[in-house]
Amino acid sequence: MVELSVLQSRFGAGITESVFRDNRRIDVSSGSVFEILSGLKAEFGFSMLIDLTAVDWLEYEGATDRFSVVYLLLNMDTGERLIVRTAVNLPDPCLPSVYSLWRGADWMEREVFDMFGISFTGHPDLRRLLMPEEFDAYPLRKDYPLKGRGERHNFPVITRSGS
Amino acid sequence: MAVGLPENIFITKLDAAANWARSNSMWPMPFATACCGIELMATAASRHDLARFGAEVMRFSPRQCDLLIVAGRVVMKMLPVLQRIWLQMPEPKWCISMGACACSGGVFDTYAVVQGVDRFIPVDMYVPGCPPRPEQLLAAVIEMQAKVRRTGTVMGREFTIRDTPDGPTPFDQDERYRIQDANLIQLGGFSAAATGKGLQGRSNRG
């Protein structure tokens, strides 16, 4: 298991650790996340990106940042798992893309962009994944109403005599 | 019987003759997107046997159909497809909205689901249920046949008078409120919202 002290001596003391139900999480700053992830892949053997997703902390008690972006890593040799979290905020939530490290990040980053509006610089094709192209809201943000704001209601209404 | 007519010759109206033919050979276009589609298949299968009413020919091309059966929820991304299918069907054509989701959105009261297909395409018959049993769909097909016999005309005059939308308007009033809220946020009306730390204490309508 990679000790926190080893990570801190390698990547700086800004890394903090927490454990929830046997899941180890390390919190890193958004400025150093790409360097840390590429180091984890190259030097610590975390060769697989299991998942990349985001959390909106709006109105969450005790939260200090608006969004967290979560990377779930797996060491294919030892079976060790590690969760890396970083925080981004409005008005311009932006992170470096990890597409160059793991090709599997392609659609994951597109989904996070689609649902949360977090953009990834360096992504080769950052388009919406699930919602239609002309949709201009981010549905998984907590301030987005469940019923939407009528983004896609501008279709023509077909009457019987007109069809 | 009229005097002087040979045997096996009947006198009728052209409308009635057309309606007789149309109502007894409705070819459904199955637009099955959810669990209602399973009931639609069960209706066509041997136990309930839609063929008894001349509607067993499920064509998977809209150009060969005259009865659109919208079975299941329709999401906003799918609606242009549904509208195109409806426009591709040749006249005369009818539409059955099958199930709670197609009629009203059902339990899927979200941003992504159409709250009733009659907001965007004309609907002749609504089938309630979640999902409706095959008997209900059979009843709707029988009722559809009766409607065609009752109101049909050979030139389709009963269609041309329906020049207003059948369903409610695409926007509900509360949806207009939400759009207004969004515009206010964009204009800076809620300055706290721009930092992402706001919106507490303000009820999000919907």
pLDDT of residue B154: 87
- Between A8-22, A93-107, B82-96, the lowest mean confidence (pLDDT) is in A8-22
Say if residues A114 and B142 touch (Cβ distance below 8 Å). Answer: no
pLDDT score at A116: 92
- What is the model's pLDDT at position B7? 84
Residues of chain B contacting A151 with CB distance shorter than 8 Å: 111
**What is the reported pLDDT for B203?**
45
Of residues B120 and B171, which shows the higher confidence score? B120
Q: Which domains does chain A have, with CATH numbers?
A: 4-154 (3.30.460.80)
Answer whether A110's CB lies under 8 Å from A117's CB. Answer: no
d(Cα B24, Cα A61) in Å, to the nearest integer? 64
Question: Could B122 and A159 be called an inter-chain contact, meaning their C-beta atoms sit closer than 8 Å?
Answer: yes
Residue B119: φ, ψ to 5°: -70, -20
Which of the two residues, A64 and B190, has the higher pLDDT score? Answer: A64
- Rounded to 5°, angle at Cα B29 from B24 and B30: 120
Q: Residues B120-126: what's their mean pLDDT?
A: 91
- pLDDT-derived band at B195 (thresholds 50, 70, 90) equals very low
Q: What confidence score (pLDDT) does residue A70 get?
A: 94
Mean of pLDDT over chain B:
83
What does the block give as tokens for B182? Answer: 């969004």
Indicate the residue type of B12. T
Checking if the pLDDT of B205 tops 80, the result is no
Could you give the percent of chain A with pLDDT greater than 90? 38
Bridge-based pairing state of the strands A94-96 and A81-88: unpaired
Cβ pair B178:A132 closer than 8 A? no
Average pLDDT estimate for B168-181: 75
Q: Which of A65, A129, A163 to mutate to test the interface with B (most CBs of B within 10 A)?
A: A163
> Which range has the worst mean pLDDT, A11-20, A25-34, B63-72?
A11-20
A146/B109 touch (CB, cutoff 8 Å), yes or no: yes
Give the pLDDT confidence score for residue B187 in this predicted structure. Answer: 58
From chain B, the residues in CB contact with A60 under 8 A are: none
Shortest alpha-carbon distance between residue B204 and chain A (Å): 6
CA quadruple A141, A144, A146, A152: dihedral, nearest 10: -110
**Contact B160/A161, CB-based, under 8 Å?**
yes
Straight-line distance from the first to the last Cα atom of chain B, in angstroms, rounded to the nearest whole number: 66
Any CB–CB contact under 8 A between B165 and chain A? yes
Return mean pLDDT, chain A: 88
Q: How far apart are CA A91 and CA A67, in angstroms?
A: 11
From first CA to last CA, the distance across chain A in angstroms is 67
Chain B residues with CB under 8 Å of A144 CB are: 111
What does the pLDDT read at residue B204?
Answer: 45
Closest by CA to B155, choosing from B18, B63, B11, is B18
Tens digit of each residue's pLDDT (9 = 90 or more) over A102-113: 998 999 999 999
Mean pLDDT, rounded, for A60-84: 91
Rounded to 5 degrees, φ, ψ at A113 are -65, -40
**Cα nearest neighbour of A145 on chain B:** B206
Give the pLDDT score at A49. 93
- ipTM of predicted complex: 0.72
The arithmetic mean of pLDDT across residues B176-190, rounded, is 66
Q: Which residues of chain A have a CB within 8 Å of the CB of B79?
A: 152, 155
Q: What is the mean pLDDT of residues B199-203?
A: 43
CA distances from B53 to B36, B94, B101, B144 (A): 20, 16, 26, 11
Least-confidence region, from A106-110, A125-129, A141-145, B40-44: A141-145
CA distance B138 to chain A (A): 24
- Quick one: pLDDT at residue B185? 62
- Chain A: nearest CA to B19, how far in angstroms? 18
- Span B119-143, mean pLDDT? 92
Q: Check residue B196 and give its pLDDT.
A: 42
pLDDT at B74 exceeding the cut of 60? yes
A87 touches chain B (CB under 8 A): no
Closest-CA residue of chain B to A137? B182
Instruction: Classify B45 as helix, strand or coil.
Output: coil
Question: In this structure, are residues A96 and A34 in contact, taking their beta carbons and an 8 Å threshold?
Answer: yes
Checking if the pLDDT of B197 tops 60, the result is no
Any A CB within 8 A of B206 CB: yes
Structure tokens at A18: 């927490």
Is A94 part of the contact surface with chain B (CB cutoff 8 Å)? no
